[in-house]
Chains A and B, each alone.
Chain A
Amino acid sequence: GEQVEQLPSILRVQEGSSASINCSYEDSASNYFPWYKQEPGENPKLIIDIRSNMERKQIQELIVLLDKKAKRFSLHITDTQPGDSAMYFCAARLRSNYQLIWGSGTKLIIKP
């Protein structure tokens, strides 16, 4: 079936620097791409999303980029803080049945 590849699986960055997580998808008709954050012991929560009519979206320190031609999208966290340490999941919505296909997750570790 359709898959979303998410890399890296683990990302360690120094506090204050930027972190980038990349996802690629297969269905060129996918039109909705959310990002969820899961803190340790908690449930996943939506932090930012982008639709296919946009190439870039920013909410405070979170930036999402979408390259439809390459079928890739990415999350960038600028000026990382200890509270950014968490699992991050990307997903893509299939146009055929509107289901979300999830990436395998990235564990982000912010080093003090």
Chain B
Amino acid sequence: EAAVTQSPRNKVTVTGGNVTLSCRQTNSHNYMYWYRQDTGHGLRLIHYSYGAGNLQIGDVPDGYKATRTTQEDFFLLLELASPSQTSLYFCASSPGLGGKEQYFGPGTRLTVL
């Protein structure tokens, strides 16, 4: 089964803080995604990538940066965290875009005080 791991699993920071969320997949998938999940909004795509060094903007990118350093590793960066970014963050990977199954990580719960 596809394996996607995320760290940390929980994070608390203060407004203005600097946060990096990490994601690693060991499936040799080309595509990786960062989502946030909030009640009433479902899954919203922040950024995605189709390979090392590539970054594509998703639907809710404001306040977030991302970097894909290798095929396996995709990072989400919040350089000036705000309370509105308190959310559950999921990373996912897939072999192709859209029409292929996405495999999700366990999620990171971020709280910005």
* Residue pair B59, A1 in contact (C-beta under 8 Å): yes
Residues of A in contact with B, size category: 20 to 34
Min Cβ gap B60→A in Å is 10
Q: Which residues of B contact A (CB under 8 A)?
A: 40-45, 59, 90, 97-99, 101-102, 104-107
Nearest 10 A/B pairs, CB to CB: A98-B98, A43-B104, A93-B98, A104-B42, A98-B97, A102-B43, A105-B42, A32-B99, A46-B101, A102-B42
The contact sample of 16 A-B pairs, CB cut-off 8 A, is A9-B40, A32-B98, A42-B106, A43-B90, A43-B107, A44-B43, A44-B102, A44-B104, A45-B104, A49-B101, A93-B99, A98-B98, A100-B45, A100-B98, A102-B42, A103-B42
Q: Is the CB of B45 within 8 A of A99?
A: yes
The majority secondary structure among interface residues of chain B is loop
Is the C-beta of A89 less than 8 angstroms from some C-beta in chain B?
Answer: yes
Q: Is the CB of B42 within 8 A of A6?
A: yes
- A36-88 contacts to B, CB under 8 A, are 42-46, 49, 51
**Given contact pairs A98-B97, A99-B98, A43 touches B105 in the complex (Cβ within 8 A):** yes
